[in-house]
Amino acid sequence: MLARIRISVPDRPGSLGRVATSLGTAGADIAQVEVLEAEAGRALDDVHVVVRDLDHLDHLGTVLAGVPGVTVVGLQHPAPPTNGHAELELVAQVLAQPGRSLQTLVDGAPGAIGAHWAGLLGYDQDGMPTGVVATSAGCPGEDALPLTAPLRVSAPAVPGAAGAALVPVGSGLGLAVVRDTGPPFHRSELWRLEQVGRIVGVAAATVRGLPQQAPFA
């Protein structure tokens, strides 16, 4: 099975080589490495690995944590999509049935961005939440959503969750996606989700007569 390990490593030659050697010795195959950022002498990488089971994944995390200079930020199974195709497929599904675009977004966003569940929040003219519009399967309840977070691109805290992301969807709506386990949302993931929200906001406005938001800044 495919899993993701997010690590912080020294940004110098040989760092990923040591990681690869440690993973190989522990019986894991590397499927892909995605460099998320490199600054202040360190790099943040997502390493996608093929593992036998969750115990094997936990073992890999322990092994990497013992490599000098390596910090394990989070482990996640199943691994989320990385090539952007999932977001494009979600947008295509939304546009194919614009009359139910918002529910399609809520249902499809967790799988597209690598989260466990999602919810759609309504907002007033001051950008403050007024209530829950829709939730996806797996949502533990409306109270689990970030009901006090203002309407802007952010990573609000959700008690008991590993990470959450909130993005505007057109005017007066916000999409919240939540990871129960795994690494927190990186700014690159927030950006991808923001673009999906902008496109869906336009589609929803076209059908429902809501004020439109430009699809791209």
Higher pLDDT, 72 or 94: 72
Residue 207's pLDDT is 61
- pLDDT for residue 82: 66
The model's confidence at residue 134, banded by pLDDT at 50, 70 and 90, is very high
pLDDT in the model for residue 83: 63
pLDDT attached to residue 156:
95
The tens digit of pLDDT for each residue in 60-71 reads: 999 999 999 999
CATH architecture group of domain 2-76: 2-Layer Sandwich (3.30)
The whole-angstrom distance between residue 206's C-alpha and the CA centroid of its chain comes to 27
The CATH number of domain 85-208, selected from 3.40.50.1100, 3.30.360.10, 3.30.450.40, 3.40.50.300: 3.30.450.40
- Share the mean pLDDT of the chain: 89
Query: In this predicted structure, what is the pLDDT of residue 45?
Result: 95
pTM of the model: 0.85
Q: In this predicted structure, what is the pLDDT of residue 44? A: 96
Instruction: Identify which has the larger pLDDT, 197 or 204.
Output: 197
Please write the tens of the pLDDT for every residue from 77-119. Answer: 888 876 668 888 998 998 888 778 889 999 999 999 999 999 9
pLDDT digits (tens, 9 = 90+) for 140-189: 999 999 999 999 999 999 999 999 999 999 889 999 999 999 999 999 99
User: Domain-by-domain residue ranges, the chain?
Assistant: 2-76, 85-208
161: Cα separation from own chain's centroid: 12
191 has pLDDT over 60: yes
Domains 2-76 and 85-208 share a fold: no
pLDDT at 131 over 70: yes
pLDDT digits (tens, 9 = 90+) for 25-58: 999 999 999 999 998 899 999 999 999 999 999 9
pLDDT of residue 203: 77
User: Between residues 174 and 126, which one has the greater pLDDT?
Assistant: 174
User: Is the pLDDT assigned to residue 209 strictly greater than 60?
Assistant: no
